[in-house]
A and B are shown apart, each in its own frame.
Chain A
């Protein structure tokens, strides 16, 4: 089965860029940033699946499963850090997360 690769890839890329813009333009909420990262990971996952179908190779789908697992773990850790951070600083707004400076 030959699929129209371009259209599928366009969906993946637009998803990726939506995630990217979510990271770069977002100034308020750090949870939004985590969600954007998840979105980017999903876009990558989408790519893997498209190509695995396109190339008729199961490895891509296995990889997608792995990524899902890792993403879940990652977001769990991220949320945990966020909770701890909120307890210490009292806010999760990105504007005030500038400990890297000075």
Chain B
């Protein structure tokens, strides 16, 4: 059953990619959806067995790499963490599959799309169920590949190509970190098996690695490198640029990437490696800082975006920041709880945004929407639920995890905790601001779209509406229902899947912080949403004048709209020098220069020259042949003579004299 849970999506992929043409779009949709549904049911059962009944499952399927010390097998480890992720991944993926049958119904390549979705899910399941780092890396790379394929799904669009390549390359930077981390783990622990590594971590807490005369603490180094991997995948600051650009892909893909299969992988990695991080406080410090800044940064950028999907993308980035700094504050279970909750309302937001885009014939710019509340009431309700859940409105899903994250941040009573708490509160208010801005501009304001696209607009058809309803229910209830199981005081749910050092445990302290601090996130979000509504309702013309006429405000607008110039900084400081170096040094000097000179073309040229000179000897003149025959005869005879001389008088003086003679000969010739 456990293996079937993982391999059903792969089976769906193989069938639909190989026989998609014969099965017709509807047939492939049926097959992939039913396989995903089956996989979801199995993951519910496994969630019950492993999570609720607390019986972890460990399957060692087959050896993969078995080479002296190095031993990696195809093994599947189902503990509470894995089954939670399996549940999220398969449920979101099933709904996205069903949604795609409606959303992509007019696309001629629907079978390919469905098969890629299934493959994506398979790799993510592979990633979360891995029992060693190599298999995790396999899933990790597979997820990256599928994101490339899906972002690039409409491969005739230049923007999609660019975004897909960007996603691939930026992820490669993170993957490099992960690969280095795996090398380091093998160097230190001589194994890459999770169980062995995690149980050995305390014994290596003071073990140092010497690299180029620098002395690194092994655990800190491993933690840092693993975090670089997580930064790449989870779109934290510096490597976040691929995530908003990934919006070029079809909307169901965005939902899948953002809710379940891709960006949660980084957070999952951090949580999975909690024993490593618990023994490297320096890295935890770093993680917290990066996470908090990411949360604030992407929220601030999200406000000034005009693309419907990009706003939601930046909100994902911001929520990922929350998850990461929760990890940095050693509250891994809360982080996973937020992953769990976030998946549902983010999928809901994306899928309903997709419904809007679908209804307006692929219009994504919010400035050309407006007034859709009358045409798409159902979608409006869904986006409203999603946005309220996202901004942590009391008793909706987001509330339970987000507020707890902020509370535990405050109750650390350290610089880090306070820092991330206030950044988190500010980003919560900004989140509320742009969520309401999105709702206002899309649904409430007067219609700004084209007449014919509004005339053709229709609310979501059944295959698109069904997932929305389910996700809407999840977004309302799942946080309340699962809170006690995931993060309730003394919950036995996590077993040994997550390790927290006793001195880092502060979930109890979170219950004793001042009441007004507990209220801060709520009031901040309320303030943000009210500000947004009032600004857009009453002051929109004056705001427009302010931003267009005043130089300072337009600078501010440009700064945030252009994402703090991160892309530009990266391009000008890193990418273009690298590109130039790559062209002039590695390409022109090394590849086309040295290697070419001593390699293929130099060799072939010199062989050609040599053969030309030899062929000159073939003059066809008998007298020259005769000369050559005699000359070479004499040469060979004299070689024989020299050898006999050497045999008899092999003294150092003699050799010196010979060498000197040869030297003078060479000099005189010149």
A residues sitting closer than 8 Å to B (CB atoms) are 20, 23-27, 33, 94-95, 97-102
Contact = CB atoms under 8 A, between A and B. Distances in A.
Given A20-B626, A100-B625, 8 more contacts: A23-B626, A25-B623, A26-B623, A27-B623, A98-B619, A100-B618, A101-B620, A102-B620
Q: Which 7 residue pairs across A and B have the least CB separation, nearest first?
A: A101-B620, A98-B620, A100-B620, A24-B627, A23-B626, A24-B623, A24-B626
B621 A98 contact: yes
Q: Is the interface of B mostly helix, strand, loop or mixed?
A: helix
A101 B619 contact: yes
A99 B620 contact: yes
B519 to A, nearest CB: 101
Contacts of A101: 618-620
Given A20-B630, A24-B630, A33 B620 contact: no
Contact of B622 (A20, A25, A94): A94
A26 B627 CA distance: 11
A20 B619 CA distance: 19
Nearest to B626: A23
9 contacts: A20-B630, A24-B630, A25-B623, A94-B623, A95-B621, A98-B619, A100-B618, A100-B622, A101-B618
Contacts of B621: 94-95, 98
Contacts of A98: 619-621
Interface of B: 618-627, 630
Nearest to A17: B630
Contacts of A97: 622
A101 B620 CA distance: 5
B625 to A, nearest CB: 8
Contacts of A25: 623
Contacts of B630: 20, 24
Nearest to B620: A101
Chain B CB within 10 A, most for which of A24, A25, A95, A99: A24
A23 B623 CA distance: 6
A97 B620 CA distance: 8
Nearest to A36: B626
A80 to B, nearest CB: 18
A56 B636 CA distance: 33
A82 to B, nearest CB: 13
A95 B619 CA distance: 11
A99 B622 CA distance: 10
Contacts of B623: 23-27, 33, 94
B229 to A, nearest CB: 67
B622 A33 contact: yes
B629 to A, nearest CB: 10
A57 to B, nearest CB: 26
A20 B623 CA distance: 10
A13 to B, nearest CB: 13
A24 B618 CA distance: 15
A99 B625 CA distance: 13
Contacts of B618: 100-101
A27 B627 CA distance: 13
Contacts of A102: 620
B557 to A, nearest CB: 81
B51 to A, nearest CB: 87
A97 B627 CA distance: 16
Chain B CB within 10 A, most for which of A94, A99, A100: A100
A27 B624 CA distance: 10
A23 B618 CA distance: 17
Nearest to B630: A20
Contacts of B627: 24
A100 B625 CA distance: 11
Contacts of B622: 33, 94, 97, 100
B632 to A, nearest CB: 13
A26 B621 CA distance: 11
A101 B615 CA distance: 10
Nearest to B623: A24
Nearest to B625: A100
Chain A CB within 10 A, most for which of B618, B624, B626: B626
A23 B625 CA distance: 10
Contacts of B626: 20, 23-24
Nearest to A30: B622
Contacts of A27: 623
B128 to A, nearest CB: 74
